Amino acid sequence: MANIIAIANQKGGVGKTTTAVNLAASLASMKRRVLLVDLDPQGNATMGCGIDKHTVEHSACDLLLTDIPVADCIQRVTEPSPGFDLLPSNADLTAAEIGLIDSPDREHRLTKVLARAAEAYELVIIDCPPSLNMLTVNALVAAQGVLIPLQCEYYALEGLSSLLDTIEQIRESRNPTLCIEGILRTMHDPRNNLANQVSTQLITHFKDQVYRTIIPRNVRLAEAPSHGQSALLYDPQSKGAVSYLALASEVLRRLDKRQQVA
């Protein structure tokens, strides 16, 4: 059974989608079988993988609201070789969020979808929308771990506590083994004193839960999506691409360690 990791933070623009696409591409380049699930109606992860969200015939929305086969929805992202699979999304997912409200198993729809698909993969990465809505709840119920991207700025820790509350609630009511996979410092600029202070505070509070890998602010990471590519494809030598490869290794090491303990 695959390790399912939800990439969540209700704050927008903290690097969730950048992390989802580049982590999926990095893991795939390490020959891991990966499924990337775009669970944001903005479809940024879909576009960032080079797939036009406007031409997507079956999106994650259809999977959440109907019983169509998962295979009808999956698209193959072929590069970096050997590539990975994507469950694409577009604005239809907003309809899914509303449609789910009347469904009796509304919080478990994604869990059921992934139960039909996850066997084929070692890792499933879910890119969550920037809110704690029913789509994010579906991701947190389906996942084993949450990866939290965080920009080290003044309000970052405040936002983090409401996300941690939500995770705790999901753990108590729906998914008792849900863990914090790790907290990831993104868009980091070491010349910024405040960023360094928040980074230190983060380590004081969350210790080993903070990934050692830090994602620097890097223009290549920002440019790559407009070419429909991960940074690994767009500019493999860039600091951004290299830092996401390091993150992929760290994620795998942590998962291995946890499985040894279990």
Residues lying near ligand ADP in the complex (CB under 6 A) are found at 12-18, 44, 130, 186-187, 215, 217-218, 221-222, 225, 240
Least distance in Å: CB of 18 to Mg ion? 8
Strand-pair category, 84-87 with 34-38: parallel
Buried b (16+ CB within 10 A) or exposed e, 76-100: ebebbeebbbbbbbbebbbebbebb
Which residues are CB-neighbours of 118 under 8 A, at least 6 positions away? Answer: 1, 2, 4, 35, 124
Rounded CA-CA distance 143/123 in Å is: 11
Choose the one of Mg ion, ligand ADP, none that binds residue 43, judging by a C-beta under 5 to 8 angstroms depending on kind.
none
**Whole-number CA gyration radius for the chain:** 17
187 binds, among Mg ion, ligand ADP, none (CB under 5 to 8 A by kind): ligand ADP
CB closer to Mg ion out of 3 and 44: 44
Binding partner of residue 18 among ligand ADP, Mg ion, none, CB under 5 to 8 Å per kind?
ligand ADP
Q: Which does 186 bind (CB under 5 to 8 A by kind): Mg ion, ligand ADP, none?
A: ligand ADP
Residue number, 68 or 194, with CB nearest to ligand ADP: 194
Pairing outcome for strands 34-38 and 210-216: unpaired
Question: Please, what is the minimum distance in Å from the beta carbon of residue 224 to ligand ADP?
Answer: 8
Between 70 and 198, whose beta carbon lies closer to ligand ADP? 198
